[in-house]
Amino acid sequence: MKKRILQYAFLGVALIAVFSSCRKQSFGGEENPTAGKTFVWITEANSDPHIQFFDVFTDIKTVALFTVRRDAANNADLKKAVTVTLTADPDSTANAGLTPFTSGLYTFPTSADIASGGIYAGAEGITANSDGTVLTVNFAPGEFAKNIIYKVDGSKLDLSNTYGAVWKITNFGGFTGKVGYSVVAAGIAIKNQYDGVYDYTGTLHRDDDLTLGGPIKSGLTLAVSTASATQNLLYALWADGSGQIGGVNPIRLTTDPATNKVTVTSDANATLRNIPDSENSYNPATRTFTLNFVWNGSDPAHRSASVVLSYKGSR
């Protein structure tokens, strides 16, 4: 794979073991056995949904889905053996557009994997029920981070699905849940055919600012990232490359694979739409998007874009 997503994910997993999670007093660095509460939380909950996208693979990939942490208020709490339980919510999983992993799609790390350390650090002491919907996470004394790791068989994945679940901490092991960090939608998906880095050329129309509008500066590129099998997101730049276009990003491209027609919309701005009778399409032979879209009504607030995105390489 050209893209090294897994390497960065695994680096983060490896680094997590070198940090202490015991909170200190701000004034002198001494532990206070009675200060505050010990929290149990999911680190990726604040990036919900936490979906990782991969190039097509047919072998076994090791994926760190998310991390459960114990943020100890004092050394006594850190030294306790604690059992935390996470439960997958089927209704929330379906509403999030996630396809649950079935038993044939993945396995948990083996004892030999865990003994090897490295990318498997923090994966020990985690078990699941028969259908994988309940995870039991056992913190040994002194442990503060546990990584939920799946070994995924890429040869069995349906490339049109996003696999995962909405997980909720249902037992905090006698400690306290951090507000907003007890639920995560976590999963994996395969990048669609449109994903990549593109050269960004064309013209932006903005009457009230001829610097931000006008011909797009040479050499600018945009990342087009997978949102689903037929949808991608991009963060468009002003013509001079000085920053992102305000109030419309991310822009969503929905491509019809049968016709290669593209519908341009924005979740942030309902006025953004295709310019009628103008080309909005994807050319699979040249891997090029031709886009013409408009937003914000009439002049001088009126904005529009006539741009071409030409594939440059993988993200």
Q: Are residues 49 and 14 in the same domain?
A: yes
Last residue in a domain, options 163, 190, 217: 190
Q: Are residues 90 and 52 in the same domain?
A: yes
Pairing of strands 196-205, 126-128: unpaired
User: In this structure, what CATH number is given to the domain that contains residue 184?
Assistant: 2.60.40.2030
Domains: count for the chain: 2
Last residue in a domain, options 170, 190, 210: 190
Do the Cβ atoms of 216 and 243 come closer than 8 Å? no
pLDDT at residue 12 tops 90: no
Instruction: Report residue 228's pLDDT band, with 50, 70 and 90 as the boundaries.
Output: confident
d(CA 293, CA 263): 9
Instruction: Report residue 63's pLDDT band, with 50, 70 and 90 as the boundaries.
Output: very high
Instruction: Report residue 300's pLDDT band, with 50, 70 and 90 as the boundaries.
Output: low
Q: How far is CA 315 from the centre of its chain?
A: 14
Question: 176: number of CA atoms within 13 Å, CB side?
Answer: 10
Domain housing 300 = 196-313
- Span 154-179, pLDDT tens digits: 999 998 899 999 999 999 999 999 99
3-state secondary structure of 51: strand
Backbone angles phi, psi at 247, to 5 degrees: 80, 0
Q: Are residues 126 and 231 in the same domain?
A: no
What percentage of residues in the chain have a pLDDT greater than 90? 79
Last residue in a domain, options 166, 190, 214: 190
Instruction: Report residue 8's pLDDT band, with 50, 70 and 90 as the boundaries.
Output: very low
The pTM of this model reads 0.74
Residue 271 burial (C-beta neighbours within 10 Å; 0-12, 13-18, 19+): middle
Which pLDDT does position 47 carry in this prediction?
75
